[in-house]
Amino acid sequence: MTDRNRILLTWISFLSYALTGSLIIVTGIVMGDIAKFFNLPISSMSNTFTFLNTGVLISIFLNVWLMEIISLKKQLIFGFILMVLAVLGLMFGHNLAIFSGAMFVLGVVSGITMSIGTYLITRLYHGKQRGSRLLFTDSFFSMAGMIFPLISATFLANNIAWYWVYVAIGIIYVAIFILALICEFPLLIKSDEKQQVGRENWGVGILFLAIAALCYILGQMAFISWMPEYAIKSLGMSLSEASKLLSYFWGAYMLGMWGFSVIMKRFDIQYFVLALSALATGLMFWFNMDKNTEHLLTIISVLGFFSSAIYTTIITLASQQTKIASPRIVSFILFCGSIGTMLTFVVTSPIVENYGAHAALLTGNGLYGVVFIMCLLVSFVTKHRIHGHSSCH
């Protein structure tokens, strides 16, 4: 593996996270215009976007096996073809069924690409460097989430049709496609390694980390989704003030990813995620209990910073439970996290309906507590030190 090839493959990973981030986060910006386009109430239109999340979930699940059947390069080339067809469907197929199908295809493409991007990082880098690189890769999700809403808002303000937003997002995949053509991809598992991996048991630690991944994403989405509603209805804040809380959270989240990508190399990864999950749980509880709105911007910024590294660290630690990074483990943890996203409104909507938005925030807090407990249980069974992953390479 040459340094040039490693760098190009790493950029595929960066862009894969940017692609998924842009597709998911622009939804709230373009949904109103799309609802008007199809002459539907926005509540009905929001349900249609579940096709996007479903596509991501299914593709991450299936790619556990697809990676061993179809080469990574072929998957990315085929993904480019699907991406072009989906964007053309959005542009010219002015029909709700075609729109739903195109959204599903976009979800499938982004899910496959992100799982490949995650696997490449876990394969190319080792020890604490793996966690650091994976964390920096995940920051591209947030970066795209900051850039593409601005692009979308600019397009819509200048009366440019909403589907051009997806054309702009498609440019990311053009870059991935070009990189895929000129790269040499690593073999998933060498023949002599495959027997060794086959003898290795995932162990109960993977189960604990899978539960932690699901609860982390579900807890975060429950908190973020209903926090503005709580701030406005319960604390009397304006919409702009509530939006500012969200902005500060994501801004600190991205800064945290960049900062921890450097800092985490100095610590044992298991102790690192245990400390972060404890801090995040405590900070979220403080936010939920503090009624002084002047404090909330500071609390949510610190919460965003310290919670930013938890998910990618869980993925990294899971990948280190076997001697050789397994694509199945990485995809399995990503799949569990995606289930958390899918369950967000299934779990929280009845809670909000019966007990109010603050109860949803407390539910998110409880789920963060479960993450801490799972990370604590992992400390008794983790194999990352046995496999020599705790040392810096």
Looking at the structure, tell me whether residues 178 and 203 fall in a common domain. no
**283 with 135, same domain?**
no
Other beta carbons within 10 Å of 289: 10
Phi, psi torsion values for 186, nearest 5 degrees: -70, 150
The SS3 of residue 134 is: helix
**Of the candidates 328, 294, 304, the residue with the CA atom closest to the CA atom of residue 206:** 328
What's the mean pLDDT when you consider all of the chain? 85
- The predicted pLDDT at position 297 comes to 93
pLDDT of residue 27: 72
Q: Note the pLDDT of residue 189.
A: 56
**389 domain-assigned:** no
The number of residues in the chain equals 393
Per-residue tokens: 136: 């920096």
Asked, for residue 120, whether it belongs to a domain, the answer is yes
Q: In this structure, are 171 and 246 located in the same domain?
A: no
Do 115 and 204 lie in one domain? The reply is no
Model confidence pLDDT, tens digit, residues 351-373:
988 898 899 999 999 999 999 99
Predicted local confidence at residue 364, as pLDDT = 97
Q: What predicted TM-score, i.e. pTM, was given to this entire model? A: 0.75
* Total count of domains within the chain: 2
What pLDDT was estimated at residue 200?
55
pLDDT number for residue 173 = 96
pLDDT of amino acid 340? 87
pLDDT under 70: residue ranges of the chain: 28-29, 42-44, 46-47, 127-128, 188-200, 324-327, 385-393
Q: Any idea what the CATH number is for the domain that residue 24 is in?
A: 1.20.1250.20
| Same domain for 238 and 178 | no
Distance, in Å, from the CA atom of 142 to the CA atom of 158, rounded to the nearest integer, reads 25
Q: How many CB atoms are located within 10 Å of the residue 159 CB?
A: 6
The span from the CA of 221 to the CA of 267, in Å, is: 28
**Degrees (nearest 5) of the Cα angle 211, 216, 219?**
120
Same domain? 245 vs 361: yes
Alpha-carbon gap, residue 380 to 205, rounded angstroms: 9
Q: What angle do CA 217, 57, 27 make, to 5 degrees?
A: 75
